[in-house]
Amino acid sequence: MFRGYHCMEYILENFILFLSCLTVFINCMLPVPLRINSFHVPTPAVTGDSILLRCAYELGNETLYAVKWYKNAGEFFRYVPASDPPLKMFPQNGIDVDMSKSDQNNIYLRNLSLESHGNYTCQVSTDRPFFRCVQTTRQLEVVVPPSDGPVLMEEKSYYEVGDNVSILCNSGKSKPAPELKWYINDQLAQSDLYDKETVVYPDQLESSSLALRFRLKPDVLHNGRVILKCVATLKHIHAVTIKEIRAAASKDASPFTLSLFLIAATFLMRRLTRD
């Protein structure tokens, strides 16, 4: 999209002012300060979260006409100090503004949904005589963390040396689908042992599955066991799930008979520091 689109709209709305604006530009007389110093969008965010978007600007000695907020092409909030009331909001899907916590710099968005995902623009325009306009756009990514940790599905529960191990790791539903990785004895399994698939559900959520296949050779076994982990990571948010399978030599059977024990399932979810 043309970067200055919303600004152009403003300028067209004030066509004569556009000319004066142009004159000012040609004359290069402007003391520069009108600018957006920072535009903070805490991305990625999680559905259901409430977040504060902050647009900090400098007017120099110009007078503020309006601060307008857009999601993609649609305006959803406006601050015009000369209007009564100065704050106004326009309904839009995925936008739930808490007016009591919003002002000329801040927008408090409640209860994010997948529809809140998009490009947010803060546009600051000044009144006469300059009628200038600056804006900045940032993308807000909204994700749904996985509902559950990965589930492992084994073809069989007893293995012998030389057997082919075949285990499927299915992630919980999320958006986007988590990235899955297999570790064999804490070492990332090579991708030629993988078989990957992503499923998209009608509710927009996704899940991934990763099948691990390898030959159970003696060198993979440490004290008669092999530790397999399936780790699910959702970009940025890092919903990490770890499952561990231990294959141990069974005492009462031949030394080559191994049994698999499911020993641990942990679900860790950690939000990384956001910028």
Ligand X SMILES: *[C@@H]1O[C@H](CO)[C@@H](O)[C@H](O)[C@H]1NC(C)=O
Residues 76-115 that bind ligand X (CB under 6 A): 111, 113
3-class DSSP string for the chain: CCCCHHHHHHHHHCHHHHHHHHHHHHHCCCCCCCEEEEEECCCCEECCCCEEEEEEEECCCCCEEEEEEEECCEEEEEECCCCCCCEEECCECCECECHHHCCCCEEEECCCCHHHCEEEEEEEEECCCCCCEEEEEEEECEEECCCCCCEEEECCCEEECCCEEEEEEECCCEECCCEEEEEECCEECCHHHEEEEEEECCCCCEEEEEEEEEECCHHHCECCECEEEEEEECCCCCEEEEEEEEEEECCCCCCCEEEEEEEEEEEEECCCCCC
For ligand X, the closer of residues 77 and 120 by Cβ is 120
Annotate each residue in 139-168 with x if it binds ligand X (CB under 6 A) or - if it does not, as one string: x----------------------xxx----
Toward ligand X, which CB reaches closer, 31 or 85?
Answer: 31
Please list every residue from 216 through 255 that binds ligand X, using CB under 6 A.
none
Q: Does 72 bind ligand X (CB under 6 A)?
A: yes
- CB 265, min distance to ligand X, A: 28
Min separation Cβ 207 and ligand X, Å: 21
Residue 23 or 139: the one with the smaller Cβ distance to ligand X is: 139
**Residue 119 is a binding residue for ligand X (CB under 6 A):** yes
Is residue 118 near ligand X by the rule CB under 6 A?
Answer: yes
The CB-of-241 to ligand X minimum distance in angstroms stands at: 25
Minimum CB separation from ligand X for residue 229, in Å?
22
**Residue with Cβ nearer ligand X (174 or 208):** 174
- Which residues contact ligand X (rule: CB under 6 A)? 31, 61, 72, 111, 113, 118-119, 139, 162-164, 215
